[in-house]
C-alpha cells in the first residue's frame, strides 16, 4: 500500500487484470472514513485527492463491464 493510500499505476493494472479475467466485483483496500483515525492506509475518504484518483480507476475499469467496484471504508476505533 502506498503511504498516501491512493491507487497506484501498479494497483490499476492489477485490477484491470482481474477484470479481464472475468471477475464481477472489485473491492479496494480499506480507507479511513474520518481523517483523525489512524491505521493503514492513512487516506481519509473525504480528502479531495481521492476523487480524481478513483475516477481514473473507474474510467479504466468501465469498459470491462464489472458488476461494480467498491471503495472499502472503515471506522477504526472510537469515534468520540
Q: What is the pLDDT of residue 13?
A: 92
Task: Kindly report, residue by residue over 27-64, the tens digit of the pLDDT.
Answer: 877 777 666 666 555 566 767 888 898 889 888 888 87
- Residues 14/20/21/25 CA torsion (nearest 10 deg): 70
Q: Mean per-residue pLDDT for 6-27?
A: 87
- SS3 string, the chain, reads CCCCCCCCHHHHHHHHHHHHCCCCEEEEEEEECCCCCCCCCCCECCCCCHHHHHHHHHHHHHHHCCCEEEEEEECCCCCC
> What does the chain come to in residues?
80
Amino acid at each position: 500500500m502506498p503511504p498516501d493510500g491512493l491507487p497506484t499505476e501498479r494497483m490499476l493494472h492489477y485490477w484491470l487484470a482481474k477484470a479481464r479475467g472475468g471477475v464481477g466485483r472489485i473491492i479496494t483496500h480499506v480507507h479511513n472514513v474520518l481523517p483523525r483515525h489512524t491505521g493503514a492506509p492513512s487516506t481519509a475518504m473525504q480528502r479531495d485527492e481521492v476523487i480524481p484518483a478513483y475516477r481514473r480507476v473507474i474510467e479504466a475499469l468501465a469498459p470491462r463491464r464489472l458488476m461494480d467496484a467498491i471503495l472499502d471504508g472503515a471506522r477504526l476505533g472510537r469515534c468520540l
